[in-house]
Amino acid sequence: MEKETIYGIHAVLEAIKSSQPIDKVWIQKGSKSKLFELLLNKLRLNSISFSFVPSEKLERFSAKNHQGVVARIAAIKTMEMVPLINEILQQKKNPLFVLLDGITDVRNFGAILRSAAASGVDAVFISSSGSAPLNGDVVKTSAGGAFKVPISKVSHLKDVVFHLKAHNVKIFGITEKAKETVFKKNFEGPLALIFGSEDLGISKGLIKLLDDEAKLQMENEIDSLNVSVTCGILFFEILRQRS
């Protein structure tokens, strides 16, 4: 089975909480804090193997800010597209789906998953090619959000759009070329948001399938924001409208 390394005490705690299959945890010798005590208790309660090691060993696992904790888990599982959509549509009256078109930066991907989890997004869809990997960097940046939002990898995002349209889910694109701003839109009802990469935007094939589109209002001659920031703004605007 393919393995992933995650690092950071919060990411490891979230992995335990989400019942991820953890093989082993390495903890820096001499680490002392309430969070470390909590982690140790969780590891013992869940019979997860762990050992104390010098910081040099942790740095061999990752040059990132590991915060004194590294864990090895199986690669994050993704879900099949059709069963996932059907289950959500059966359970939720106004679901929110997110399609990420060409988001390749792991930090952006992780930040998007964090915002998605915090705002109640129901599922995230990515392409199996041309997308950021679901690796330890994503888990770390997402602060556990990668374990809280169902993720589906598909061959073509068009397949997701066609299936959603067949169930009367509105397909909404966020693009700088739109005429109206997002704050003038009504986001009630079943909805799917499509976000494109910062350099290319939403691909032409998906643009043609949109039911509606909008842009963010910009001031001071700024023409765009980081895609993860844009996602966060949209997610919480929708949450505000629906609350």
Q: Could you tell me if 103 and 112 are in contact, meaning their C-beta atoms sit under 8 angstroms apart?
A: yes
The pLDDT of 220-242, averaged and rounded, is 88
Interval 182-225: pLDDT, tens: 999 999 999 999 999 878 889 999 999 999 999 887 777 666 67
Rounded Cα distance, 211 and 189, in Å: 13
Q: What per-residue confidence (pLDDT) applies to 195?
A: 97
Rounded Cα distance, 151 and 103, in Å: 14
Neighbours of 163 (CB within 10 A): 17
Task: Please give the class, per CATH, of domain 3-74.
Answer: alpha beta
Rounded Cα distance, 57 and 181, in Å: 50
More confident residue, 54 or 232: 232
Q: Could you tell me if 121 and 98 are in contact, meaning their C-beta atoms sit under 8 angstroms apart?
A: yes
Q: What per-residue confidence (pLDDT) applies to 104?
A: 92
15: buried, middle or exposed (CB in 10 Å: 19+, 13-18, 0-12)?
buried
Q: What per-residue confidence (pLDDT) applies to 74?
A: 60
Q: What per-residue confidence (pLDDT) applies to 1?
A: 44
Per-domain boundaries in the chain:
3-74, 81-242
CATH architecture for segment(s) 81-242: 3-Layer(aba) Sandwich (3.40)
Q: What per-residue confidence (pLDDT) applies to 173?
A: 96
Q: What per-residue confidence (pLDDT) applies to 199?
A: 82
Rounded Cα distance, 8 and 117, in Å: 18
More confident residue, 23 or 79: 79
Interval 3-61: pLDDT, tens: 678 888 898 999 888 887 787 889 988 878 888 999 999 999 887 888 898 888 877 76
Residue 202: φ, ψ to 5°: -75, 135
Examine the pLDDT at 2 and tell me if it is beyond 60: no
Helix, strand, coil: what percent of the chain each, to 5? 40, 25, 40
Interval 91-132: pLDDT, tens: 999 999 999 999 999 999 999 999 999 999 999 999 988 888
Interval 164-189: pLDDT, tens: 999 999 999 999 888 899 999 999 99
pTM of the complete model? 0.76
